[in-house]
Structure 1
Amino acid sequence: MVDSDTLVCVTSEMATGPVTGDDGLARTPWALGSEMMRRYYDTEWGMPIREERGLFERLSLEGFQSGLSWSTILSKRENFRAAFAGFDPELVAEFAEADVQRLLGDAGIIRHRGKISATIGNARATLALRDHGGLSALIWSFKPEQTPVPTTMDEVPTRSAESEALAKRLKAEGFRFVGPTTAFALMEAIGMVDTHLLGSYRRGASGVSFSNQPG
């Protein structure tokens, strides 16, 4: 997940490799765009999520991010949680047209009918998966054996063979707004791949093992 908006606070000559913050810790450049982004990078991004509700939230937010910056979505996360019943898939699955209209009138979220409808439909698809191993088992089954080992931002991929396969499978299960790029961003966010730059103090922090994980 690379948010171009957060790079404006980092000089262009520093924006390709790890950047050392005022606390002396090296991070992937986008983390230093704002205090909000640094806190997210330090405490959440790339940490494993395996429970259904957490995965449904991340999948929903990544879908809303499509075409937008992640900082925009992150700044509205609490509004999204309030609007979508804490991303409880059982509750969201019950949303009707009246809820769609309510959400379209909510200035605290992204008012995009297609994404709103997709989130409701994805909640229903999440429930349907419970009879077939569940959302977590499906998503994590696409974890690659190897992870990227980027030294610069230019080396961070935005999709992979696994994200393409995951997106295809999710769509087959009735999910929408889950293309390969969105699927890869989800994989980054939940630690299924590690795209912290080599040299970042967070590299390997997830504890998820890969056959080519340095260190």
Structure 2
Amino acid sequence: MSGLLVGSDGLARCAWAGSTPDYLTYHDTEWGVPVHGEQALYERLTLEAFQSGLSWITILRKREAFRAAFAGFDAEVVATFGDADRARLMADVGIVRNRLKVDAAIHNAAAVLALREYGGLDALVWSHAPADHAPPRSAEDFRATSPESVALAKGLKKAGFVFVGPTTMYAAMQACGLVDDHVVGCHRSGVGAGADQGPA
């Protein structure tokens, strides 16, 4: 079936997972599994923003460096970052050194904290999980956005977030299990339960 690749272990996977060992591990253990909690979702939104214009493998391989650079994605800490922290981040070869994206990560940390008065980041993100989502049957069914990702982007922007466009948010929805976009026939298809999952 288009969009699937059978590995040496005999398991069918989304074809993109077969390109590198890093992708295979990410695909089999994390991509599409429901993610809950302020810190975990702030991390995912931040990494997706840094990925914009780049390959996801670049971000995946720098993930631990990002965690170290951004205090484990603790929004309370990142929101206090000042000019010295910005300079440190822009000098950190372990991460993607893009001034606009660094500033966005710090700005969005403050937005995460402000959201606590209105139910929190988890509630906002998961309120946009589609009630019904048909997983792709082939590579031709892959999409870049959805009505829900457009709505999520608008909701986050209204809450003060930046670098949260519809395409970036759809990638986050895939990664965080709001939608199950494992190709039908992939051994991981069905791991994401979408809107049926409550906060952890």
Is the TM-score greater than 0.5?
A: yes
Query: For residues 23-102 of structure 1, what are the structure 2 equivalents within 5 Å?
Result: 23-102=9-88
One-letter amino acid of the counterpart of residue 75, structure 1: R
One-letter amino acid of the counterpart of residue 99, structure 2: R
Count of aligned positions = 196
- SS of 2:188's partner is coil
Structure 1: 4+ residue segments shifted above 3 A: 207-210
Gaps of 5+ in 2: none
User: Displacement of 1:97 after TM fit?
Assistant: 1.2
Q: Distance in 2 between matches of 1:184 and 1:175?
A: 16
User: Are positions 1:183 and 2:183 aligned together?
Assistant: no
1:70-112 per-position Cα deviation (integer Å, ceiling 9, x unaligned): 0000000000001000101010001001111111111110000
Label 1:127 to 1:33 Cα distance change in 2 as closer, same or farther (>3 A): same
Residues 153 and 166 in structure 2, CA contact (< 8 A), matched pair in contact too: yes
1:100-131 per-position Cα deviation (integer Å, ceiling 9, x unaligned): 11111111100000000000000000000001
Query: For residues 97-108 of structure 1, what are the structure 2 equivalents within 5 Å?
Result: 97-108=83-94
Q: Distance in 2 between matches of 1:68 and 1:17?
A: 22
User: Displacement of 1:208 after TM fit?
Assistant: 3.7
Residue 142 of structure 1 corresponds to: 128
Residues 83 and 103 in structure 1, CA contact (< 8 A), matched pair in contact too: yes
Residue 3 of structure 1 corresponds to: none
Residues 178 and 195 in structure 2, CA contact (< 8 A), matched pair in contact too: no
User: Are positions 1:199 and 2:185 aligned together?
Assistant: yes
User: Displacement of 1:187 after TM fit?
Assistant: 0.5
- SS of 1:149's partner is coil
Residues 53 and 88 in structure 1, CA contact (< 8 A), matched pair in contact too: yes
Q: Distance in 1 between matches of 2:28 and 2:56?
A: 15
Q: Distance in 2 between matches of 1:49 and 1:207?
A: 11
Q: What is the root-mean-square deviation of aligned Cα atoms in Å?
A: 1.2
Q: Distance in 2 between matches of 1:209 and 1:177?
A: 24
1:144-194 per-position Cα deviation (integer Å, ceiling 9, x unaligned): 111132122221111000100100110111111100000000100111011
Q: Distance in 1 between matches of 2:6 and 2:183?
A: 12
- SS of 1:194's partner is coil
More displaced 10-residue stretch of structure 1: 143-152 or 176-185: 143-152
Residues 148 and 156 in structure 1, CA contact (< 8 A), matched pair in contact too: no
User: Displacement of 1:209 after TM fit?
Assistant: 6.2
User: Are positions 1:166 and 2:142 aligned together?
Assistant: no
One-letter amino acid of the counterpart of residue 27, structure 2: Y
User: Displacement of 1:60 after TM fit?
Assistant: 0.3
Residue 101 of structure 2 corresponds to: 115
Q: Distance in 2 between matches of 1:22 and 1:119?
A: 39
- Give the TM-score taking structure 1 as reference length: 0.88
Q: Distance in 2 between matches of 1:184 and 1:177?
A: 13
